[in-house]
Structures are given as structure tokens and as C-alpha cells.
Amino acid sequence: MLDVRRLRLLRELSIRGTLAEVAEALQYSPSSVSQQLALLEKEVGVELLRKTGRRVQLTPQAEVLVAHTAQLLETMEQAEADLAASLTTVTGTVRIAVFQSAALALMPDTLTRMAKTYPEVRIEMIQREPETALHETWARDFDLVIAEQYPGHAAPRYPELDRVKLTTDAIRLAVPASDGGTAIRALADTAEVPWVMEPRGAASRHWAEQACRSAGFEPDVRFETADLQAQARLIESGNAVALMPDLVWTGRGTTARLLELPGRPHRTIFTSVRRSSVQRPAILAARETLAAAAAAVAGNDAT
């Protein structure tokens, strides 16, 4: 009989690439991971790992085991979900990965509602960039991810993850209340002013740059920060302009002028969980409560 814990270590190695990263993710020591994988090799009687420089490479036989391990983990997770669904009380822990504007706009209300309606569910939240969080949810670091998708920019897809739309928010050009006489009325008017954007690689950065180029100019990006609250302060203080989704302003308002863009683009916000855990009551409760919080924000925006 193969040891499922050792099989999981092998799968983790296929995902993370190094023994050190596996050890960090599972809170083992690297030597312990190495010893357990050596025992797994003895159990199966074939070579599973080959050294390539400072890294190890999985053999074809190891890849076969990894594929079966993924199926085993899905079956076990489904069994856990079915067992939880048979109980009369919703309990357990839900680990949520969320990006900043959703964390600020949606999570406080969600946590308050969860504590009131499902007091025996523990919510753990960590801020992550959406693309990273989707991968980590697939890798079982998180149970649920709140992610975003900009127009024309597809977020990564994993067959093991579902995708449920949570809400949308408009993307607008945010400029200082006083523009110093530059008379900014449209995106093309910002060709000569400083911009603030997220670092390169972020979906929002790629989308903003493409929007500026479509308007006929290359943006003068003088400031880079992943902190959208810092971006908002730079805009409000008169030092920059940016393309900002409406969710950023939830609960705080702004002195900035928010200008409509051609085509009135919107960002889509969605949740994803592993399909094998989609019916777990605690996850269903978290999704239901997130949807209620998102609807409340949309209702407030409408008024």
C-alpha cells in the first residue's frame, strides 16, 4: 500500500519545483521531505527523482504517480465535502486569497455577516495577486480565491477550478479635482501628465498601457505601486492620474474626478474553488455571503 502523505510530497514537488519550497509550503524540514521521498522510492521500487544541478527532476514514473495522486486528493476532498454536508451545523475553516480592492470593499462586510450567520466557520484571509492566488488555490494552499479579469485580458484557467461571477465594477480615468489648467476631459488629454500604475506583470498595468496606446500615446509612468490606496492618494494630491476600478472608492469616497472611458469598460470579479470542494458547506456559505456583500456594494453605488 502506497503512503498517501508521501505521494502528496511528490505532487508538491512537481508543483513547486524544489525540496525547499515543498518544505516551506508544508512546514517540514527539507531533510524530512527528502527522507520521505526516498522511502517512497523504496516502496514503489523505481527511480522517481534525478538530480539536475541543484534541483531534482521527476522521472516519467514519478509523473504517473503524480497524476494518480491528484485524482486521490480530489476524491478525498470530495469525501470530506460530502461528510461535512451530512452534518446539521456548518463548521470548518475557509482559507481565502483576495486582491487588495476586494479585500477592502468586500471582506469587512463578509466577515461580519459570516460571524453572525455562521459563527462556527473560521475565515482566514491572505492578500495575493489574482494570478498567483489562482495557482495557489489549484495547489491547495487556499480553499477559495477572489480574482479579477480585465476586458480582453483572460485570467489563468485551471480545469480543476470552477469560476463563479461575483460582481463587476466600472473602470474610469481618475484625475485630480484641480488639474492645474491642463483641462483633462478624456484619456487623450493625459499624454503629458504623470501616471501611477501597478508594477509590470499585473493585469491592470497591461490593460492600462494598452488603453493609453489605443488613445494615441505612451503613458508617462512615473510612479509604480501595487497599493491602490497609495495610488488614490497620489491622484487626490494632484501628483498623478490613473485608470481605477470603482471598487477602490467603496467606503471612502474621493475628491478625484472620475471620467468615463470610451465603451464604458468594466472589470469582472469572480470566485474560484476546486471542483472537488465546491459543495462543502463552509465554502458554500462563504460564497453566498460574499455575493450578499457584493450586492450591497453594488446597491450603494447605484444610489
CA–CA separation, 122 vs 268, rounded Å?
A: 27
Same structural domain, 275 and 164: yes
Residue 234 φ then ψ, to 5°: -65, -40
pTM: 0.85
Q: Give me the CATH number covering residue 39.
A: 1.10.10.10
Asked if 271 and 167 touch (Cβ cutoff 8 Å), the reply is no
Same structural domain, 128 and 227: yes
pLDDT band at 302 (very low <50, low <70, confident <90, very high): low
Same structural domain, 52 and 160: no
C-alpha cell read off for 239: 501628483
Q: Identify the CA nearest to 209 among candidates 152, 170, 258.
A: 152
CA 192 to chain centre: 33
C-alpha cell read off for 135: 495557482
Same structural domain, 62 and 169: no
Which of 69, 84, 99 lies at the terminal end of a domain, its last residue? Answer: 84
**Number of domains making up the chain:** 2
Dump pLDDT digits (tens) for 97-139. 999 999 999 999 999 999 999 999 999 999 999 999 999 999 9
CA–CA separation, 73 vs 279, rounded Å?
A: 16
Q: Please check the confidence at residue 95 and state whether its pLDDT lies above 60.
A: yes
Which of 52, 84, 116 lies at the terminal end of a domain, its last residue? Answer: 84
Same structural domain, 78 and 192: no
Same structural domain, 104 and 198: yes
Q: Identify the CA nearest to 165 among candidates 148, 144, 186.
A: 148
Q: Identify the CA nearest to 258 among candidates 201, 202, 183, 176.
A: 176
Domain containing 10: what range? 4-84
